[in-house]
Amino acid sequence: MSTSKLTTIVVVDVVGFAAMAEADEAEAIAAVARMGERCASVAAERGGRIFNTSGDAVMMEFSSAFGAVHAALDLATVSDPPARIAVHTGEVSPMPTGDLLGRGVSIAGRLQAYARPGVVVVSEDTRKTLRGSLVEKLVAKGSVKLDKLDDSIAIYELPVDAAAGARGPLTRKQIMLIGGGVLVALIALVVLALPLLNREPQQRVAILSLTTSEPQLQGIGEGVAEDVTAALRARGVDTLARPSGSDAPREQMLDRARGSGAPIALEGAVERVERALRITVSVARTSDRATLWSETFEGPEASAASLRQLAAAHSANAMNCALRAGTAAAVDVYPLLLSACARSEDRDARGQNRDALSQAVAQAPELALARALLAAETAALLNTASDAQRQELVTDIHNNAERALRQDRGLGEAYLALERIEPRRRWDARERTLQEGLQQDERSSALSSAYASMLFEVGRYDDALAYARNASTLEPLSLNKRLAVASILLQNGDIESARDIADELSDIQPDDPGLWLLRLRVAFWGETYDDALALIDNPASQIRSTRARECWRFAAGAMRAAPSTPARAQAVRHVVDCSNTGDLPTAQALMEYSAIGELDEAFALARLRFADERRGGEEVLFSAATGPMRADARFMPLMRDLGLLAYWRLSGHWPDFCRDPGLPYRCQAEAQRLQ
């Protein structure tokens, strides 16, 4: 599986340990031990873990940046011993020992040197993933150059009083009352502790070993279980250790799981059927041992990695939905609900998923999760619906989403459905809906992914990348979410990072259509045109028509030809024809026109597709390849006509390109002039 992941790291380092040890070595060691115990307790409470200790320092990781920052604040409130605390979100590589390595760890370790007791240092990458009042409390401290690293990083300070969240500072009268006696102090302590006492307990599941009669297949079964465990832990779910005594009867293992507080368990088998490999996985309810969902994956042994990934991804999705739905509903509802959850990323299964969810809602009208999922699946049909169908669908989506939210405000899928029925260019309304959803359901990978897409559309690539990475971290088995990260990287000009992701995914799902397209774009914009043409001519090519393949060859020819030559002029004419007939994607044509200096053609096509025909895909206008368009005087008037200028001005969030020092205008001043 993936060799790297995005995580948030908290580093805690004791201040002045050497001086403490010289004065009283025993007390210094005891103080470090107390800090270690406190770190372990806070990490467990906030959904994290300790992955490394070194002398007087502790390193922890958290799947949620929000949880990591609050853990840091919890630790910073205690000054025994005084400590420097830093938080950073970045890429890491997990080791078999449980340790983490990589640039993310290096940055976090060096950041703590800029911290001071009572204040938490937060990196820019972590800040981008935070929302709500915490962001407002961050104090910018400029950029720092980290030791032995090439680039600088922006940092922020967060004082310990930020932990109070929305509560204001204590008044003078309150301070006097608290100082007035032990009873008042105890009452104040209880009030402050209420958020912790009311916190929803961490959910728990059991991951049972997948059985097999062949020792050669044991690794595949173990791999599925490990992948599901990692995926569920990323969503904040506690997983029980898989029992070593796999020969124990099923009933006994399920009873053990139930006794340990796990309402559901994953079980399954791996076997050979003739020359094929078959993986069967199922989710069982431990209270009555009923099977709630089951699915079988079968293919040639050469596709073992693909089968493992699919089985693990579907299992993790099904288990997550089972936990969210609870186990009190009738048994007949779960196969409908969980099968739709398991296949939620399969575009070809949307019709089946909607039918299954419709039946689930009919059988269990009180099941809010099924209703929210139905609204989200129905919303996915809007892009292909006729005008008459669209209005009927919008009404159904709105009613189901609102009814689900009346039952449970924390259903991310309901907010996702409501965002999708907004007009596409109502970016302000879409953003408000997504932000509200993320405040209610911060672990929703679907909401993070949708917000990344919206930010991508409006040119906020850095923020889009942060949310896309967060979505991929929350759902590490999702190829679609990993591809979304690669797409943003590629559009932003980071071809090597996009290529790394393509290479990584090629080992897991080499035949995925989305991956094929990513590899084509990486080859093309990485200027390895022969590789691009080989992909186009390959029997597995996703470009089916002869004409479309020919158009991609013309595109490669235009990029290869020297400027101001007959060959370049002829190739450009072919590209224009291909763009006009729709045989070459608009994004590809726009980037190509801009890259080779055909700006008249670029602006003509952009106005036709985005202003006149009102199609989507505006994000290409902010890609690295279309930089020459943004430096042209015609660009900002185009932004005005698309409605983007109004969004930027009203929201106060300007696109990344406005920070470009080489831009011949200031975005805000130009917006003022054009309003």
Tens of pLDDT along 226-277?
Answer: 899 989 988 889 888 655 445 778 899 999 999 999 999 999 999 999 889 9
Inter-residue contact 603 to 597 (CB < 8 Å): no
Inter-residue contact 647 to 427 (CB < 8 Å): yes
Quick check: is 505 in a domain?
no
Quick check: is 53 in a domain?
yes
Quick check: is 544 in a domain?
no
Q: What is the pLDDT of residue 319?
A: 96
Both 241 and 384 in one domain: the answer is: yes
Both 286 and 432 in one domain: the answer is: yes
DSSP 608: I
Both 116 and 263 in one domain: the answer is: no
| pLDDT digits 0-9 by tens, 61-74 | 988 888 899 999 98
Distance, in Å, from the CA atom of 298 to the CA atom of 304, rounded to the nearest integer, reads 9
**Both tokens assigned to 166:** 């929305």
Closest CA to 312 of 211, 232, 203: 232
Both 163 and 231 in one domain: the answer is: no
Inform me whether the pLDDT recorded for 370 exceeds 60. yes
Closest CA to 282 of 290, 298, 294: 294
Inform me whether the pLDDT recorded for 171 exceeds 90. no
- pLDDT class of 552 with cuts at 50, 70, 90: very high
Dump the DSSP string for 351-377.
Answer: HHHHHHHHHHHHH-TT-HHHHHHHHHH
Inform me whether the pLDDT recorded for 311 exceeds 90. yes
pLDDT above 90 covers a percentage of the chain that reads 61
CATH number where 47 lies: 3.30.70.1230
Comparing 45 with 568, the larger pLDDT belongs to 568
- pLDDT class of 23 with cuts at 50, 70, 90: confident
Both 163 and 208 in one domain: the answer is: no
Distance, in Å, from the CA atom of 623 to the CA atom of 629, rounded to the nearest integer, reads 10
Quick check: is 360 in a domain?
yes
Quick check: is 198 in a domain?
no
Query: Which residue pairs from 380-388 have beta carbons closer than 8 angstroms and sit at least 24 positions apart in sequence?
Result: 380/350, 380/420, 381/350, 381/354, 382/420, 382/421
Distance, in Å, from the CA atom of 300 to the CA atom of 189, rounded to the nearest integer, reads 62
Quick check: is 352 in a domain?
yes
Average pLDDT, stretch 458-475? 92
Q: What is the pLDDT of residue 63?
A: 83
Any idea which residue has 């993070």 for tokens? Answer: 448
**Both tokens assigned to 296:** 């079988």
Closest CA to 120 of 80, 78, 167, 91: 78
Inform me whether the pLDDT recorded for 611 exceeds 60. yes
Both 415 and 302 in one domain: the answer is: yes
Please state, as a whole number, how many other Cβ atoms lie within 10 Å of the Cβ of residue 519. 21
Inform me whether the pLDDT recorded for 151 exceeds 70. no
Distance, in Å, from the CA atom of 408 to the CA atom of 403, rounded to the nearest integer, reads 9
Which domain-ending residue is among 415, 441, 467? 441
Which domain-ending residue is among 123, 153, 168? 168
Average pLDDT, stretch 361-380? 95
Closest CA to 213 of 162, 251, 247: 247
Inform me whether the pLDDT recorded for 593 exceeds 70. yes
| pLDDT digits 0-9 by tens, 135-147 | 778 888 888 888 7
Distance, in Å, from the CA atom of 492 to the CA atom of 498, rounded to the nearest integer, reads 10
Asked whether the bond before 117 is cis by omega within 30 degrees of 0, the reply is no
Comparing 319 with 22, the larger pLDDT belongs to 319
Both 292 and 425 in one domain: the answer is: yes
Please state, as a whole number, how many other Cβ atoms lie within 10 Å of the Cβ of residue 211. 17
Average pLDDT, stretch 569-580? 93
- pLDDT class of 164 with cuts at 50, 70, 90: low
Both 226 and 125 in one domain: the answer is: no
Both 141 and 215 in one domain: the answer is: no
- pLDDT class of 45 with cuts at 50, 70, 90: confident
Inform me whether the pLDDT recorded for 185 exceeds 50. no
- Helix (H) / strand (E) element for 252: namely helix 250-259
Q: Mean pLDDT of all residues in the chain? A: 87
Whole-prediction pTM: 0.72
Report the domain count for the chain: 3
Quick check: is 319 in a domain?
yes
Strand runs (DSSP E) across 183-286, as ranges? 204-207, 238-240, 264-273, 276-285
| pLDDT digits 0-9 by tens, 519-534 | 999 999 999 999 999 9
Q: What is the pLDDT of residue 243?
A: 52
Which domain-ending residue is among 441, 465, 490? 441
Quick check: is 374 in a domain?
yes
Both 305 and 160 in one domain: the answer is: no
Distance, in Å, from the CA atom of 503 to the CA atom of 482, rounded to the nearest integer, reads 12
Closest CA to 293 of 270, 323, 253, 259: 323
Inter-residue contact 318 to 342 (CB < 8 Å): yes
CATH number where 270 lies: 1.25.40.10
Distance, in Å, from the CA atom of 487 to the CA atom of 624, rounded to the nearest integer, reads 12
- pLDDT class of 392 with cuts at 50, 70, 90: very high
Strand runs (DSSP E) across 304-452, as ranges? none
- pLDDT class of 194 with cuts at 50, 70, 90: very low
Both 289 and 431 in one domain: the answer is: yes
The letter for the amino acid at 344 is S
Inform me whether the pLDDT recorded for 30 exceeds 90. no
Both 213 and 90 in one domain: the answer is: no
Average pLDDT, stretch 283-307? 94
What does residue 249 show for φ and ψ, rounded to 5 degrees? -60, 150
Closest CA to 20 of 112, 79, 82, 72: 82
- Helix (H) / strand (E) element for 341: namely helix 333-342
Domain housing 634:
585-675
Q: Report CA dihedral (29, 34, 38, 41) to the nearest 10 degrees.
A: 100
**Both tokens assigned to 62:** 């958290």
